[in-house]
Structure 1
Amino acid sequence: MARIAVIGAGMGAMAAAARLAVAGHRVTVYERTDTYGGGVRRFTREGFSFDTGPGLLPLPAVWRDLFVKTGKEPLEECVELTQVDPAARHVFADGTRVSLPNASRAGVVAALDAALGGGAGTRWGDFLVRAREAWDRTRRPLLEEPLWADWRVLAEREPYPAVPRRRRLRTRTASTLAEVGALELADPRLAALLESHALAWGLDPRTTPASAAVLPYMEHAFGLWYVRGGLRELARAVYERCLARRVEFVFGAEVTAVVEKDGRAAGVETADGTVAEAEHVVAGVDPVRLAGLAGRPPWAEGEVGADAAAAGAAGAGRFTVLLALRGAREADAAHRTVVHSPDRPAELDLLAGRTPSAAVRPTVTVLRPDDAALRPDGGHESVVVSAAVPVGDGHGWTSEEGRERLADRVLAAAEAAVPGLRERVLWREVRTPADTAAETGVGSGAVPWPALAAGDGRFLRPGNTTGRPGLFAVGGWAQPGGGLPHAGMSGALVAGLIVEGPRFRGSQ
């Protein structure tokens, strides 16, 4: 039985802790804040509750597997899962609306044909077939296995199948997500539907590799699920599973250093000077913070992790407006509505940091869960509206005035999803990447995207093992990247590497 110190109580870190405890190890989690969950938090006020992190759960099989492997009670006995239908309602820039059924290819094809015409559904269905091919090629190396030693193979090979298209006397194949939309979908609304899956992570489709086609495919193939009471309930269930497996949590304990002895990680030191010895250290932090804790980047020069530590916690953050509304939710309201930006070039410039965010109306996601646990009574409704924004200084949302202006623009978009929105608002709470930074410890407030193949490795995440023996990386900033399914799988990968050793190759 080994002593294992886990830095952070995020979802990936707790998933690793529970699995390691079941394997017989003595696990202690050190969390700098006063609660668990990382970015999976809840905001409550005056009888209203809101998820402040992710609001929907794709690929719940990852978390089902965790509960099967760590105890007798399956996931469904610990939380109430419901499938969201429709999966999303989309409002395009020209005013066209379409509701897409959950996990039904035939239903999606029919809905798109009816709303967009011109064989749009068939083209989208054909795209999903190609996206499945990309998924089949990358599922194991990018989701179920530790990062390959020869990771450059993943960086250089585009798994999305080449579909030659002849345009202007030239034959072209798509290498970016934007090119997939332009060359293969032949409708700006279908292209917007495709690109919205990248924009949700703050990724620019003009530079995001075509392999990002796996993002809409995952949603289509495995469906979207909601946890009754909000996604915070999933975090609670995982935390309680850890406690049941005798994982110890120390809250309010900020780790300031990874202790090294004889060239390997040998424990952690906290802000009060306490040193806790351990045979293994599992770090659920971003590469920049991990490099600081370790005294230097713990990955070899030229590796993905070293590049990530040098570049900082890159990515976009989330600008969120929590709305307490008077009036009941209408019966036919969609759980999720995506309202597309009327100005694609300006939105992409925003994500690239070239346009003040208060001057742009970005693509927004509106979540309206039909959940009595989130509202004081049936005469009210809680709604979450969010958009991806650049992180760092100098953007419109970083000042109080600019933050409120951007909130007004975001709510103007949300009116397409919530009838009579402005007249219904009792109060609103505005959250920016600065709030994410305070909760997660990621200085930039960025939210990590899922690892993607191709793109010269710029969309990969550092491996779970590091160049320092005994030190492991877990969570959204490590292989296989951001998102709840990926965080859960990172916990499985780290636990496998510690229990089975470096020969561990992932779930079979």
Structure 2
Amino acid sequence: MARIAVVGAGMGSLATAARLAAQGHRVAVYERAATYGGGVGRFEREGFVFDTGPGLLHLPAVYRDLFVKTGKGLAKDERTLEQCVELTQIDPAVRHLLPDGRDVSLPNASRAGVVAALDEAFGAGAGERWGEVMNRAREVWEVTRRPLLEDTLSDAASALARDPYPARRGGLLRRDAPVLDRTARCELRDPGLVALLGSHALAYGYDPRTAPASAAILAYVEQTFGAWYVRGGIRALADAVHRRCVAHGVEFHFGAEVTAVVEKDGRATGIELDGGIRAEADAVVDGTARLDGDGAAEPPSALGRFTVLLALRGGRSAGTVHRTIVHGSPTVTVLRPDDPALRPDDEHEAVTVTVAVPPQGPVDWAAPGYAEGFAERVVEAAQAAVPGLAQRILWREVRTPLDTERETGVPGGAVPGPVLAGAGGALLRPGNRGVLEGLYRVGGCAHPGGGLPHSGMSGAIVADLIAGGPGGSR
């Protein structure tokens, strides 16, 4: 079996390492940081625990497949995803608080329930208009699912440069590339519905004013497959994937920064660490996007994540919604999980508030007082979702895109979004084969982009390529 060097320990790298090790390969992971998980981090203080990356999981089937494919040889009670983590659907999936005072809660993975809720909030016909947009998003899903998500990029990828979101039947012919916000205004009409659709793009770091209309697929995926929470926080998922790697003998080297890929006759033959130490390998998997000269940085449209972690006195009241989006300037997402593992006791609550913001560069997050001033605005907005919030705060921790850059190495702390068709191909990522034979790309800055499910798919594609397959996550 081959010797595989995996650079970086983000979720895509872990998924690749687990699959390859389960196939019998000798796998070593080299991570410059002190722990695994990449953007799936954790912050702990005084009995409070917070996710510092994504707070919910979509398309859990990706990780179910990972655990099934790597479960052979393990104890029968340690093979499936649900045996390794406690996974639950949140319900309602989300509560939206709009500037005009409307309060809209949408059920999880229920099309009929969503239609009924929208009709009640926005008037008869609103749910039907939303459903028509979801029908068109489903067409995008069906056309692009395999080439955009499940397979490595092929020579036919140029076709994905055109937005596959279908023109509205009976509408005017499009004369330019559609963007999500303009499409939503045309088809949904109500500003509140437009905001609801746009919030899905914002959650992945895309501005709905510039994202292609195909980004409607993000709303379709959540509405169809649900929003899921991992007990203990999403970091518990990273813990479980790491344990799966260890169970199959993956070696982990933390505090080990890889500076170069060793090349011989046009082939990757190992890696070089900071200090000049070399490790031989038959294949190298780059999960950092820093070692391949043909790689690409995160597209300029990507946003970063600004987060305020709030330790609150007072317990979480009955009926509290897990996720609330407060629309405004800024639009904030408030996560209030009902999870005893995240708080010191039932007389306290851990709340996470996030905002999609420009990365470092367009905004100087290190400017004196800037981040704290913005945090004040974020907390003020979040009070709509957490009554009496200001009086309940014991302490808060502010995290900016600079923290993301420091922990993940992504320039500016931009959050890699999933690949989207359209936009002239600007939102595609480099393919999973590197410029050298035996060099592969994985993770958020490679195909099929960022997000927990996409990182898992990326790992499946690369593992299949190394095994001699065509590169597919099926």
Specify the TM-score bucket, using the shorter chain as the normaliser: over 0.9
Task: Tell me which residue corresponds to 2:291.
Answer: 290
User: In 1, distance between residues paired with 2:207 and 2:419?
Assistant: 15
1:230 is matched with 233
How many Å apart are 1:203 and its aligned residue? 1.7
Go from structure 1 to structure 2 and tell me whether the alpha carbon gap of 1:135 and 1:473 turns closer, same or farther (over 3 Å shift). Answer: same
1:415 to 353, 375, 383: 383
Mapped contact 1:340–1:364 kept (Cα < 8 A): yes
In 2, the alpha carbon distance for the partners of 1:171 and 1:483 equals: 33
Residue number in structure 2 paired with 1:340 = 327
Count of aligned pairs:
467
Alpha-carbon distance, 1:400 to partner:
3.6
1:6 matched to 2:19? The reply is no
Q: CA deviation at 1:444?
A: 1.5
- Local SS of the residue matching 1:397: coil
Whether the 8 Å CA contact 2:257–2:274 is kept in 1: the answer is yes
Answer yes or no: is the 8 Å Cα contact 2:205–2:416 preserved in 1: no
Give, as a single letter, the amino acid of the residue that structure 2 aligns with 1:57: L
Which of 212, 217, 226 pairs up with 2:215?
Answer: 212
CA distance in 1, matches of 2:58, 2:97: 22
Q: CA deviation at 1:207?
A: 2.1
**Aligned pairs for 1:128-277 within 5 A:** 128-156=134-162, 158-164=163-169, 172=174, 175-277=178-280
Counterpart in the other structure of 2:394: 426
Which residue does the alignment assign to 1:352? none
Q: Write out per-residue CA displacement over residues 403-422 of structure 1, whole angstroms, 9 at most, x where no aligned residue.
A: 11100111111011111110
Distance in structure 2 (CA, Å) of the matches to 1:172 and 1:477 = 31
Residue of structure 2 equivalent to 1:42 = 42
CA contact (8 A) 1:313 1:442 kept: no
Corresponding residue for residue 472 of structure 2: 506
Query: Normalization by structure 2: what TM-score?
Result: 0.96
Consecutive unaligned residues in structure 2, runs of 5 or more: none
Q: Deviations over 1:296-335 (max 9, x none)?
A: x2x3xxxxx4xx24x7776211000000001111111110
Q: Which runs of 4 or more aligned residues in structure 1 lie more than 3 Å from their structure 2 counterparts after TM superposition? A: 170-174, 311-314
Deviates further, 198-207 or 452-461: 198-207
Question: Using the alignment, how far apart are the partners of 1:423 and 1:89 within structure 2?
Answer: 23
Contact 1:448 1:477 in 2 (8 A): yes
**Secondary structure in structure 2 of the residue aligned to 1:282:** strand
1:235 is paired with a residue whose SS is helix
Deviation of 1:92 after TM superposition, in Å, equals 1.0
5+ residue gaps, structure 1: 292-296, 300-304, 342-360
Which residue of structure 2 lines up, in the alignment, with residue 81 of structure 1?
87
In structure 1, what is the Cα distance between the partners aligned to 2:262 and 2:401? 31
Q: Retained in 1: the 8 A contact 2:141–2:217?
A: yes
Matches of 1:372 and 1:164 in 2, distance apart?
50
Deviation of 1:397 (Å)? 3.3
SS in structure 2 of the partner of residue 398 of structure 1 = coil
How far apart are residue 129 of structure 1 and its match? 1.3
User: Residue 492 of structure 1 is aligned with which of 448, 460, 464?
Assistant: 460
> Quick one: which amino acid aligns to residue 487 of structure 1?
S
Q: CA RMSD in A?
A: 1.5
CA deviation after TM superposition for structure 1 residue 124, in Å: 0.8
Q: Provide the C-alpha distance between the structure 2 equivalents of 1:40 and 1:313, rounded to a whole number of angstroms.
A: 22
Q: Is 1:373 aligned with 2:341? A: yes
The 2-side partners of 1:313 and 1:27 are apart by 34
Alpha-carbon distance between aligned partners in 1 of 2:60 and 2:158, rounded to the nearest angstrom: 30
Q: Which residue of structure 2 lines up, in the alignment, with residue 61 of structure 1? A: 61
Q: Is the 8 A contact 2:261 2:272 kept in 1?
A: yes
Q: CA–CA distance in 2 between the matches of 1:137 and 1:50?
A: 37
Seen in structure 2, the aligned counterparts of structure 1 residues 171 and 69 have a Cα distance that, compared at 3 Å, is closer
Is the aligned partner of 1:452 residue 2:420?
A: yes
1:93 aligns with 2:80: no
Q: Whole-Å Cα distance in 1 between the matches of residues 253 and 471 of structure 2?
A: 31
Code of the residue aligned with 1:290 in structure 2: it is L
* Kept in 2: contact 1:258–1:267 (CA 8 A): yes
**Structure 2: distance between partners of 1:206 and 1:47:** 40
**Identity across the alignment (%):** 64
Q: Which residue of 2 aligns with 1:22?
A: 22
| Deviation of the 1:392 alpha carbon | 2.3
Say yes or no: does 1:462 pair with 2:430.
yes
For 2:112, the equivalent position in structure 1 comes to 106
Cα deviation 1:120-168 (Å, max 9, x = unaligned): 1111112111111111111111110001123211113x221111565xx
* CA distance in 2 between partners of 1:462 and 1:172 (Å): 29
Mapped to 2, the partners of 1:492 and 1:201 lie a distance apart of: 21
Task: Kindly provide the CA deviation profile for residues 169-208 of structure 1, in whole angstroms up to 9, marking residues without a partner as x.
Answer: x655882111221111011100011111112233222221
* Alpha carbons of structure 1 residues 440 and 505: separation in structure 2 relative to 1, 3 Å: closer
C-alpha contact 1:397 1:406 (8 A) present in aligned 2:
no
- Cα distance in structure 1, aligned partners of 2:173 and 2:252: 58
Q: Distance in 1 between matches of 2:174 and 2:118?
A: 26
